């Protein structure tokens, strides 16, 4: 982020700080209705395996309280709600009302009521007290946050002592040869798929660009430690297309 110009990246474009939130909102307002279909098409269904592995490593138990930040259409919320049971609670939180509405409707349609709450909140100023959650997750959402350092500090704040943060996010591909193929797919195929399936080429162009602008694995790990986490580590999946970062508050 440029402190002197007060601008920040929106994909490959520099925009004023106060514009990024509005532009990201526009992207997700546009894609909300087709978000699940596009996830399946973009990743050839592999996103479900990434999320499943995240859930398995979470260690969530009955009675736990979980924050699913940038929870969108609720893939993680659904799984966690089943695991925490009636004595637990899952909060699906997102800055985008359209995404929360889609997620809420999906949970209701699948009969998941009673232990799920829905909140519209900014990751940089979470609407929860200190030490509220046993686990916090943010899947494919951190790269869209304007001030990632502030968001990480907020996630640390709302975790209980002994709590864990899990960040599932696109990251830096580890193989140079594969990176070339991945770039071709991201910038030549993905936007066209967005145009055909969602009639929205521009939003998927932004999503591809936002992945490249996101901090790499080691940088994000250090950002987590700088935000206060006592321990941080990451696991690469599919040659670093995605990385699962984990941080603990002791």
For residue range 4-30, list pLDDT tens digits in order.
Answer: 458 888 777 887 877 887 777 777 777
Number of H helices, E strands in the chain: 10, 9
pLDDT band at 147 (very low <50, low <70, confident <90, very high): very high
Which of residues 151 and 197 earns the better pLDDT score? 151
The token pair at 90 is: 């899952």
Does residue 31 contact residue 96 with C-beta atoms inside 8 Å? no
Residue 64, domain extent: 21-174+205-248
Residue 79 lies in a domain: yes
Q: Is residue 60 part of a domain?
A: yes
pLDDT 10s digits, 91-116: 999 998 888 998 999 999 999 989 99
Residue 163 lies in a domain: yes
Please report the pLDDT score of residue 3 as a whole number. 45
217 located within any domain: yes
| Residue 42 falls inside a structural domain | yes
Dihedral over alpha carbons 75, 8, 125, 86 (to 10 degrees): 0
- Judge whether 94 is annotated as a binding position: yes
The predicted-structure confidence for 177-232, as pLDDT tens digits, reads as follows 899 998 998 889 888 888 887 787 887 788 888 888 899 999 999 999 999 999 99
Residue matched to tokens 């700080």: 17
* Residue 184 falls inside a structural domain: no
Q: How confident is the model at residue 150 (pLDDT cuts 50, 70, 90)?
A: very high
Cβ atoms of 217 and 243 closer than 8 Å: yes
**199 annotated to a ligand binding site:** no
Q: Which of 180, 200, 178 is nearest to 41 (CA)?
A: 200
Q: What is the pLDDT of residue 201?
A: 84
Q: Is 66 helix (H, G, I), strand (E, B) or coil?
A: strand
Q: Give the whole-angstrom CA distance, residue 211 versus residue 55.
A: 22
In Å, how far are 92, 97, 120 from 29, measured between CA atoms? 17, 8, 14
Residue 109, annotated as binding a ligand: no
pLDDT mean across residues, the chain: 90
- The answer to whether 220 touches 245, Cβ cutoff 8 Å, is yes
**Beta bridge pairs of residue 234:** 245
pLDDT for position 193: 83
Q: Is 10 inside a domain boundary?
A: no
Instruction: Give pLDDT, residue 192.
Output: 87
Predicted local confidence at residue 240, as pLDDT? 96
Q: What is the CATH number of the domain that holds 242?
A: 3.40.50.150
Domain count, the chain: 1
Helical pair 217-226 and 148-158, crossing angle rounded to 10 deg: 50
Q: Is 177 annotated as a binding residue?
A: no
pLDDT attached to residue 98 = 87
pLDDT at 2 over 60: no
Residues, the chain, total? 250
């Amino acid at each position: 982020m440029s402190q002197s110009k007060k601008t920040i990246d929106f994909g490959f474009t520099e925009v004023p700080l106060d514009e990024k939130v509005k532009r990201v909102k526009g992207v997700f307002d546009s894609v909300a209705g087709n978000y699940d279909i596009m996830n399946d098409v973009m990743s050839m269904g592999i996103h479900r395996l990434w999320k499943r592995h995240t859930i398995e490593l979470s260690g969530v138990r009955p009675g736990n309280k979980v924050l699913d930040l940038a929870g969108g259409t609720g893939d993680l919320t659904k799984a966690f709600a089943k695991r925490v049971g009636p004595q637990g609670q899952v909060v699906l939180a997102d800055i985008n009302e359209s995404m929360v509405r889609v997620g809420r409707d999906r949970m209701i349609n699948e009969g998941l009521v009673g232990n799920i709450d829905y909140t519209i909140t900014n990751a940089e100023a979470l609407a929860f007290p200190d030490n509220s959650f046993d686990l916090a997750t943010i899947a494919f959402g951190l790269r869209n946050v304007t001030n990632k350092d502030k968001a990480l500090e907020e996630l640390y704040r709302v975790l209980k002592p002994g709590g864990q943060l899990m960040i599932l996010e696109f990251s830096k591909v580890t193989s140079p040869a594969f990176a070339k193929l991945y770039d071709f797919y991201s910038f030549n195929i993905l936007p066209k798929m967005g145009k055909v399936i969602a009639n929205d080429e521009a939003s998927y162009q932004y999503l591809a660009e936002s992945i490249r602008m996101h901090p790499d694995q080691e940088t994000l790990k250090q950002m987590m430690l700088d935000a206060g986490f006592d321990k941080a580590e990451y696991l690469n999946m599919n040659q670093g297309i995605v990385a699962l970062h984990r941080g603990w508050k002791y």
